Each structure stands twice: as structure tokens, then as C-alpha cells.
């Protein structure tokens, strides 16, 4: 080899493993970021659907003519029946979390939603695309958290509501889907699409954990070497 010739210098980004397969770091670097961006677009669509539905139903119910035409529930609230008396639309402002709990700790409640939203976003970015059930659960829970956070930060509390503490730092979450089980004489707490996303996401998260626990503990990944 002449003095003018130089040996090829290996690229700084190439780091093949001993058996010739790409290292996990290289595989993560080549993971298409666009797929994770698509998941975040799905989150945006679900949040938009939640906000649109709440805005549309609340605007319709607040129209004086619509209120006069709506039937009343057993407690006197305007309620629009969809499937008889079992399923309908009825307005409700929720200052707490699920089932109205946690309303006395607004900073803890809203702060927990903010932390959860950031944590879920990081998890979505770092989770491999092959874990579809797990990713679907994360997307649904994140969508629900963001939809409810929007209400917390954009709607001022109504101090004239009975049983609501005046001067609260955050606004209520708008709920409108009302379910009543007449066979058991039980009224399910009013909810919204964001709450539905969180519930379905939690179920999928549980199912993904059960599926992972059934995998053989000693199973090793297949090697690419012959």
C-alpha cells in the first residue's frame, strides 16, 4: 500500500454486534419516527373529537328553545333520551376525577394529570411499534387525560353552583353521556368521550400486561447467525 493510500475509516455511527446483527442502539436509531408521529396524530384526533362533542352538546342544551323541549329526568334535569331512559345526554360539571372523587384536592388532581400526560408521551415514543395493544392503551389514556386537562385550564369555575367551593384554581370537566340501569335502580356517573378513552385504555393496558406475563420466561430472541 502506497503512502498516499489510506485505510477506510469506519463510520462513527456504525456499531455492529459480534454476531453481525445490528445492535439495539442502531435498531432504535433507525426506528421510523414518523410512525410515532402518526400515533400522536391519533391522539390529536381523539382529543378533538372529545372537545367537539362536549362543545356541541353543551351549546345545544344551553339554547332556551332546546331546554324547553327536552324531557326532564327524575331529578328534574333536562335530559335527551337516545336509547329510551337507559342512555341519554345530560349536562354535568365534574370538579373531581372518576365518580367525582378528588374534587377537594384540585392541585393534586390536575397536577397528576399533567405528569401523566408527559409520562405517557415519553412512553409512546420509546415503545416499539410491535407492541400494538400496549401502544393503543397509551394513546387512549393520553387522549383522555389531555381532553380533560383542556377543560381544567380553559373553563373558569362557576361560583354560584350549589356544593362547589368558590375560588377554585381550575375549571370543571364537562360530562354529558348519561347511563341509568333501571333493573338495578342505579345511575352511572355522567361521563364523556375522554373518560371512555381512559377506561378502554386501562383495560387494554391490563390485557397487555396479562399477555406479557404468559410469555415463557426463558425464551431468548432468535439469533440471525446460521
Give residue limits of the domains in the chain. 33-213
CA distances from 138 to 47, 91, 200, 203 (A): 14, 28, 10, 11
pLDDT per residue as tens digits for the range 27-79: 444 445 678 889 999 999 999 999 999 999 999 998 888 778 888 877 677 88
Distance CA 30, CA 12 (A): 15
CA distances from 181 to 15, 186, 194 (A): 61, 5, 22
C-beta of residue 110 within 8 angstroms of C-beta of residue 149: yes
pLDDT per residue as tens digits for the range 179-224: 987 666 677 889 999 999 999 999 999 998 886 655 554 444 444 4
SS3 174: strand
pLDDT per residue as tens digits for the range 143-170: 999 999 999 999 877 655 555 555 568 8
What predicted TM-score, i.e. pTM, was given to this entire model?
A: 0.74
Going along 2-51, which residue ranges are E strands? none
**Which residues 6+ apart lie within 8 Å of 202 measured at CB?**
137, 141
CA distances from 78 to 65, 182, 184, 192 (A): 12, 18, 22, 17
Going along 153-224, which residue ranges are E strands? 173-181, 186-191
C-beta of residue 211 within 8 angstroms of C-beta of residue 133: yes
Matching residue, cell 455511527: 13
Calculate helix-pair angle for 33-61, 106-126, nearest 10 degrees: 150
Active-site positions read 175, 195
Q: Would you say the C-alpha torsion 151, 153, 155, 159 has a positive or negative sign?
A: positive
C-beta of residue 172 within 8 angstroms of C-beta of residue 94: yes
Question: Ramachandran region of residue 133, left (φ > 0), alpha (ψ -120 to 50) or beta?
Answer: alpha
pLDDT per residue as tens digits for the range 83-129: 877 899 999 988 876 655 555 677 888 999 999 999 999 999 999 88
* Portion of the chain with pLDDT greater than 90, in percent: 40
Q: What is the pLDDT of residue 155?
A: 84
Amino acid at each position: 500500500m502506497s503512502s498516499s493510500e489510506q485505510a477506510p475509516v469506519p463510520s462513527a455511527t456504525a456499531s455492529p454486534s459480534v454476531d453481525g446483527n445490528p445492535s439495539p442502539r442502531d435498531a432504535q436509531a433507525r426506528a421510523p419516527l414518523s410512525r410515532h408521529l402518526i400515533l400522536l396524530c391519533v391522539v390529536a384526533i381523539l382529543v378533538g373529537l372529545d372537545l367537539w362533542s362536549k362543545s356541541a352538546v353543551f351549546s345545544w342544551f344551553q339554547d332556551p328553545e332546546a331546554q324547553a323541549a327536552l324531557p326532564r329526568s327524575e331529578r328534574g334535569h333536562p335530559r335527551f333520551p337516545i336509547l329510551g331512559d337507559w342512555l341519554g345526554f345530560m349536562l354535568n360539571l365534574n370538579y373531581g376525577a372518576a365518580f367525582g372523587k378528588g374534587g377537594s384536592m384540585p392541585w393534586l388532581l390536575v397536577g397528576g394529570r399533567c405528569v401523566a400526560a408527559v409520562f405517557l408521551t415519553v412512553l409512546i415514543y420509546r415503545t416499539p411499534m410491535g407492541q400494538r395493544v400496549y401502544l393503543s392503551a397509551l394513546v387512549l389514556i393520553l387522549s383522555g387525560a389531555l381532553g380533560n386537562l383542556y377543560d381544567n385550564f380553559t373553563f373558569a369555575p362557576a361560583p354560584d353552583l350549589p356544593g362547589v367551593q368558590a375560588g377554585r384554581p381550575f375549571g370543571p370537566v364537562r360530562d354529558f353521556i348519561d347511563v341509568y340501569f333501571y333493573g338495578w335502580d342505579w345511575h352511572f356517573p355522567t361521563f364523556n368521550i375522554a373518560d371512555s378513552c381512559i377506561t378502554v385504555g386501562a383495560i387494554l393496558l391490563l390485557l397487555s400486561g396479562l399477555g406479557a406475563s404468559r410469555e415463557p420466561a426463558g425464551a431468548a430472541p432468535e439469533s440471525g447467525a446460521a
